[in-house]
Amino acid sequence: MAVPKLVVFDLDACCWYPEMYMLRRGAPFRPTADPNVLQSSGKEAVRLLGNVRNIWKELHSDERFAGTRVGVASRCDEPAWGRECLQKFMVQEGVSMWDVAEDGQLVEIYKSSKQQHFKRLSEKTGIAFEDMLFFDDDPYNIQDVSRLGVTCVETPEGVTKEAWEEGAPMVRRTGPDHRLQVRATRRRGEKKKALTAALTA
């Protein structure tokens, strides 16, 4: 399997849920017995979605991904909370999501067009957009970033095994048609309902 040189993740409603702006009180976050769950200071659970933990672990430790780097592109309303969660979600013993994203050096969290996040990531890494793979739950971000030539996968239920497999074959494709078809836009309300149902099941 050919692999991307840089895999980039959105955070809110893509890697975890709820979104940071939905928390009444955020930091400090505490680990729980479940490595997929952190607890906010308001006693709310922030939960990794889908197969996020395993995928990040694989990206970190599987030799197939030895040449693959990992980054974050987020417009999170509470950047400090987002960074703290990345530091406290452990993908394996002693390795946090923050560590996987090169000690946070490839973590881009701020309000702007996501194209800007990708330009920064490309400058920092020297990796071309065509060699990047991006996961995001928001169809507008998917459209925006795919214009750069990045292969994008929409994740209405977070980064599930299926979403990952949809993105995995990306680099086998070359030329202007390699971009994955952006899936039909879903209304945000439907997505939230699906996420809430998945998390309370």
Which spans of this chain sit near Mg ion (rule: CB under 5 A)?
10, 12-14, 137
- The catalytically annotated residue of 10, 137, 138, 144 is 10
- The catalytically annotated residue of 12, 131, 137, 144 is 12
Shortest spacing between CB 118 and Mg ion, in angstroms: 15
Looking at beta carbons only, is 17 or 130 nearer to Mg ion? Answer: 17
Shortest spacing between CB 33 and Mg ion, in angstroms: 27
Token pair belonging to 183: 């899936």
CB 125 within 8 A of CB 106: yes
Q: Which residues contact 112 (CB under 8 A, 6 or more apart)?
A: 75
Strand-strand pairing, 132-136 and 107-109: unpaired
Q: Which residue has the tokens 């980064």?
A: 159
- Phi and psi torsions of 165, nearest 5°: -65, -30
Beta bridge partners of 31: 38
Looking at beta carbons only, is 99 or 137 nearer to Mg ion? Answer: 137
Distance CA 142, CA 25 (A): 29
Looking at beta carbons only, is 10 or 157 nearer to Mg ion? Answer: 10
Shortest spacing between CB 179 and Mg ion, in angstroms: 20
Told to judge if 131 belongs to the known catalytic residues of this protein, a careful annotator would answer no
Told to judge if 12 belongs to the known catalytic residues of this protein, a careful annotator would answer yes
Residues annotated as catalytic (active site), given as ranges:
10, 12
